[in-house]
Structure 1
Amino acid sequence: MIDRRNLLKLSAMGLAVPGQALAASKPISPRVKLKKNVVLVCLDLGMYAGNHREGGASCKYMTEYFSEFKDDMTFLQGISEPGMGGGHEVQPATFTGMRYDHRSHYPERQFISLDQRLASGSIQETRNKLLYHQVNKGDFVSWNQFAQPMPPTRGLNAFHEQVFSKTDLNKDKAYIKRERDILETLARNLRRYWKGSPQEVDLKASVAYQIEVLNEREKWLKVKKPYLKKGFAENAEASPLPSCHHNYQLVYDALEQEQTKLAVLQFGGGLTRNLEGITHGYHTLSHHGGYPERIYELEIIDNKVLGGLRDFVRKLKEGGLLDDTIVLFHSGMADASAHSNKNGAAFLFGGGFKHQNYLKCSVDEKGKEVKYTSSQLFSSVLKQSGFSNITFNGNKDVVPVLFGA
């Protein structure tokens, strides 16, 4: 068996979870060189449903925020994932297509988020293989192939520190050495007390994967890290939404200066701090119950998040990066007021897709179900990024019209 000391160390790193929480081992496909940058943006409790469920291409979000990107985006109206159900359990499943508590029902499927599928299946080409940044604290939305939540960088200052601050190479090397020593000790104990149980098989694969990640990180320590002076006031940390343009800007700077090819930008709870015109908490506003004053305040939050997204996409286009960058906005909740995941919205920008501007995913003109699902959308991102194995959450199909079919 694994000795207690090393099990505790592993748990502290987020590697050890109860046996039943470990996903079934899957063969690891050859890793690819990403053809595109990928930026995923999510709002934990979603937007006000009335503004994206009605009006199609003429809905408020399209006319007030994204009308300038007619040829560079696709609004996927009514997109969702069958079988997800509702409730707050769908929030961490924004980019997985499956709820964490449902994964045992589908042993043939891998519980992993889109960002981690891209990261684990690709070759590291930049210092940061993936930037997972929470503008403010929220549920985990990034999950590796062992159904383990990945730790985010929380807060504006910490994000800047991660990407552009001056670094202590000796400290970084010592950290990697310490983590590798822990993992190698665990691997030795696994070999020593090996029984061949499914949990041990999964744990062995997890340890090997984490060691590989550390080895790749160590290679990039030899490359000089660019330094970018902070362009925001220290009190911006206390105002996450009024200052969120800085978070978008740091993602842009990281792409432009080739510090990453993958990024997740998440807007979680606590969004109403220091936001003018807001008198309720974010959770109360998202569960508005139809009260006009709450809907009005919820739209203020949407305005900040989507306004920042618009400016980010605009900057990518002006900087010549949009065709090489897939930007996807998606949320676990389609209508938080009803605790529903059905008939949500996704905004897909750039990336060289055959964009449709508007695509109805739930029913066609004759009233028949079409159901382009979130998993099909995620498989489409994998295909456009250069993956040959595009299976995601058991789905092997893409959204065909995004490729001209």
Structure 2
Amino acid sequence: MKRRDFLKLSALGAAAPMNSFAAKKEDEFRVKLKKNVVLVNLDLGLYAPHFRDNGADCKYMTEIFFEFKGKMTYLDGISEPGMGGGHECQPASFTALRYDHRDLYTTRKMMSLDQKLADGSVQETRHKFLYHQVNRGSSMSWNRFEQPIPAISGANELYEQLFARTDKDLDKARIRRERDILAALSRNIRRQWTGTPQETDMKNSLDYQVDLLDEREKWLKVKKPYLKKTFGENEERNPLPSCSNNFDLVHEALMKQQTKIAFVQFGGGSLQRGMGFELGHHANGHHAGYPERIYACEQIDTAVLTNVRRFLRKLQESNIFDDTIVLFHCGMGNAAAHDSRRTASFLFGGGFAHKKSIKCLEGKKEHIYSTCNLFSSVLKQSGFRDYSFNSSKEVIPELFKA
């Protein structure tokens, strides 16, 4: 983690009022994950007619994921009640709660699914989780203190984290430096302590960061696997044409037991580079019916989902498909209208009792199953005893019925 990102993460603890709670490990009951979990997200969502129209017979199911029949589930019409719309839904893709709605829902917490999995599980791998942006996008991984997690950006940085040769002494020095920063922040809090909720939350957040450093230091004693780099330094300048590199690294991380939790995000920033389109993904998303913009959206979607399909094939070839939950989910259902309803959600592998399609919305407003129900289902299948997620204490039962 860069020092700037580290300071930003720590400082955010005092930015907004939050519920106080202890961050000590001995007070937490963690489980051993039964499954790997890989979350995949496209910031602005897919072109709506291609997944909203025709349900399970939509374009993406019949043209891209047809080979996974019986091994995947299309969540038809899924969304979260009360989410609203706008770009504020993007950071909430895996939290089911917008940042600006935190004070409206006092019993919920803006903590993303990947961090819920990491926070409630035993660390069995070098990296507790990977939050990886293929290219620049909105922050979508949020910890228990409702703070955004800095992302590993681009394939080169992901490779350095996972498989490059490293200097153990340098890593130790970095950890010592981060401890010094935390200690300095703690001293400042003690000197100026007035007992406000923000100060209590900040102290708990610092304790939490120290716990993370302890885990990192422990894994320094285990030899890091080395993998020869097979892609060029400049390939990530064209994110979609080269994103097979990113997925290959995530696959290797699962195979070499470097992580069990990964979040792969396609951001909006420069996503079109190398695709031959002048306008960015955001501008094309607001297509206004122009054929050339719709075509650009279609091509970007196809590139993203084709690489997801390739990743799924690699999981099958390496015999870990049933041991890996892969969830493609977007916060936007229709980016052209900033609409968060009826989002694109495809669930693969993981040993679920898959159905071709599960209907999640009755009519236009009545929710049969919400996004939180889906996230609770992932937690349950991962081995969590308490699989509640914000508004949900229930799973989608069809996913567990033969």
Question: TM-score normalised to the size of structure 2?
Answer: 0.94
Structure-2 residue corresponding to 1:373: 370
Structure-2 residue corresponding to 1:135: 134
CA distance in 2, matches of 1:17, 1:308: 35
From 367, 387, 393, the counterpart of 1:390: 387
SS in 2 for 1:135: strand
**Measured at CA, do residues 235 and 194 of structure 1 come closer, stay the same or move farther in structure 2, by a change above 3 Å?**
closer
**How far did residue 386 of structure 1 move?**
1.2
Structure-1 residue corresponding to 2:345: 346
**How far did residue 149 of structure 1 move?**
0.6
Instruction: Indicate the larger mover: 326-335 or 16-25.
Output: 16-25
**How far did residue 26 of structure 1 move?**
4.2
**How far did residue 339 of structure 1 move?**
0.6
Cα pair 1:95 1:113 within 8 Å, conserved: yes
Cα pair 2:64 2:305 within 8 Å, conserved: yes
Cα pair 2:35 2:325 within 8 Å, conserved: yes
- AA paired with 1:21? A
CA distance in 2, matches of 1:10, 1:369: 41
Instruction: Indicate the larger mover: 387-396 or 84-93.
Output: 387-396
Structure-2 residue corresponding to 1:17: 12
CA distance in 2, matches of 1:130, 1:237: 22
In the alignment, is residue 261 of structure 1 matched against residue 260 of structure 2?
yes
Cα pair 1:74 1:359 within 8 Å, conserved: yes
CA distance in 1, matches of 2:314, 2:258: 17
In the alignment, is residue 249 of structure 1 matched against residue 248 of structure 2?
yes
CA distance in 1, matches of 2:93, 2:76: 16
Cα pair 1:57 1:358 within 8 Å, conserved: yes
Structure-1 residue corresponding to 2:105: 106
Cα pair 1:10 1:182 within 8 Å, conserved: no
Cα pair 1:22 1:146 within 8 Å, conserved: no
CA distance in 2, matches of 1:273, 1:146: 35
Structure-2 residue corresponding to 1:234: 233
Structure-2 residue corresponding to 1:158: 157
**How far did residue 10 of structure 1 move?**
9.8
CA distance in 2, matches of 1:56, 1:109: 31
**How far did residue 368 of structure 1 move?**
8.9
SS in 2 for 1:15: helix
SS in 1 for 2:240: coil
Deviations 1:185-241 (A, max 9, x none): 433454455433211221121111111111011000011111111111233121100
- AA paired with 1:208? D
Cα pair 1:75 1:348 within 8 Å, conserved: yes
* Corresponding residue pairs, total: 395
CA distance in 1, matches of 2:336, 2:5: 39
In the alignment, is residue 224 of structure 1 matched against residue 223 of structure 2?
yes
**Measured at CA, do residues 340 and 178 of structure 1 come closer, stay the same or move farther in structure 2, by a change above 3 Å?**
same
Equivalent residues in 2 for 1:5-404 (5 A)?
A: 12-17=7-12, 19=14, 21-26=16-21, 29-191=28-190, 193-269=192-268, 270-276=270-276, 278-363=277-362, 369-404=366-401
SS in 1 for 2:111: coil
Instruction: Please list every run of 5 or more consecutive structure 1 residues that lacks an aligned counterpart in the other structure.
Output: 1-7
**Measured at CA, do residues 273 and 124 of structure 1 come closer, stay the same or move farther in structure 2, by a change above 3 Å?**
same
CA distance in 1, matches of 2:139, 2:165: 28
Cα pair 1:40 1:329 within 8 Å, conserved: yes
CA distance in 2, matches of 1:95, 1:302: 20
Cα pair 2:83 2:98 within 8 Å, conserved: yes
SS in 2 for 1:252: helix
CA distance in 2, matches of 1:379, 1:297: 35
